[in-house]
Amino acid sequence: MYTLNCRGRLLDLSRPKVMGILNVTPDSFYDGGAHQEMRELVAKAAKMLAEGATFLDVGGYSSRPGASEVSEAEEIDRVLPAITAILEEFPEACISVDTFRSKVARQAIEAGACMVNDISAGTLDDSMLFVMAELQVPYVMMHIKGTPQTMAQETDYEHLLTDIVYHLSERLATARAAGINDVIIDPGFGFAKTREQNFTLLNSLEVLQELEAPMLVGVSRKSMVYKTLGISAEAALNGTTALHSWALQKGAHILRVHDVAPAMECIQLFERLTSG
């Protein structure tokens, strides 16, 4: 059984949890620009919490393929007011900050966030692991090659699954050696992986259980759904739910989603299916 210590609140992951995505960016692939006004952001947070989200993941740097570079100062200016506004309305909310920069992570935690979601697993900021060890908050480490700007050209692997497991095992060992207690792994769907590689990874996701760490899966409305179905990201909820069901069967502990209520229903039905 895995647990996470979020500011003294022990969260049991024996039942899968949902992380709602709150992007405060103008250019995210699905909801870019949707939550620029604080009242809209807080309303969205309220809806996600009411629908059952355990975590709210606030991001100020779009990591979609080809996204523009964002300065550290601008990222801070985006995420800190969002975190403050949500916690003023919902003081008990568990907020994750989606960043690969240690300075952003530190200031977000000081503002009240309780988790860091790092797409680079500490590879894009040499200080990140030391800051995480100091702050002692749950830390999500994702698999990626290159950067958000270059990852689309970084899809060559000697052996996809073996390479991902090796990379995550190395990053896990480094994090634990640094003194980080609560580490979550994320296989990184869509990050330095082709659509075909994404499906290969999802179909063999159970191999990541060998790493003995809780697993976060983020496939919500991504191109592996909508391009495969020949639809838009806006129409990709049903396909997302189908992949969520498979991810749960393969061992996912946290689903990172745009749509909380359908993900919660998916978990409820999965639990009913497997309870016998």
**Other CB atoms within 10 A of residue 238 CB:** 11
Query: Tell me, what's the pLDDT at 36?
Result: 58
Beta-carbon contacts of residue 158 (< 8 Å; ≥ 6 apart)? none
- Residue 124 structural domain: 3-274
Query: Tell me, what's the pLDDT at 263?
Result: 98
pLDDT band at 189 (very low <50, low <70, confident <90, very high): very high
Query: Tell me, what's the pLDDT at 63?
Result: 74
Q: Which residue is listed with tokens 């952001």?
A: 41
- The pLDDT mean for the chain works out to 93
Beta-carbon contacts of residue 53 (< 8 Å; ≥ 6 apart)? 18, 19, 20, 260
Q: How far apart are CA 118 and CA 98, in angstroms?
A: 6
Domain count, the chain: 1
Q: How far apart are CA 97 and CA 233, in angstroms?
A: 23
Q: How far apart are CA 83 and CA 112, in angstroms?
A: 7
Q: How far apart are CA 276 and CA 222, in angstroms?
A: 32
**97 near 83, Cβ under 8 Å?**
yes
Query: Tell me, what's the pLDDT at 67?
Result: 62
Note the pLDDT tens digit of each residue in 91-147.
Answer: 999 999 999 999 999 999 999 999 999 999 999 999 999 999 999 999 999 999 988
Taken in order 59, 181, 52, 83, is the CA torsion positive or negative? negative
DSSP alpha helix (H) spans, the chain: 38-51, 72-89, 102-110, 128-135, 160-178, 195-203, 223-229, 237-249, 260-274
**161 near 201, Cβ under 8 Å?**
yes
pLDDT band at 25 (very low <50, low <70, confident <90, very high): confident
Of the residues 222, 227, 250, 272, only one is catalytic, namely 222
Residue among 186, 7, 156 at smallest CA distance from 93: 7
| Active-site residue flag, 256 | yes
| CATH code of 86's domain | 3.20.20.20
pLDDT over 60 at 30, yes or no: no
Q: How far apart are CA 175 and CA 182, in angstroms?
A: 9
Query: Tell me, what's the pLDDT at 85?
Result: 96
Query: Tell me, what's the pLDDT at 29?
Result: 42
Q: How far apart are CA 85 and CA 44, in angstroms?
A: 12
Query: Tell me, what's the pLDDT at 149?
Result: 84
Which residue type occupies 170?
E
Query: Tell me, what's the pLDDT at 231?
Result: 98
Tokens representing residue 51 in the block: 């629908």
Tokens representing residue 26 in the block: 């103008």
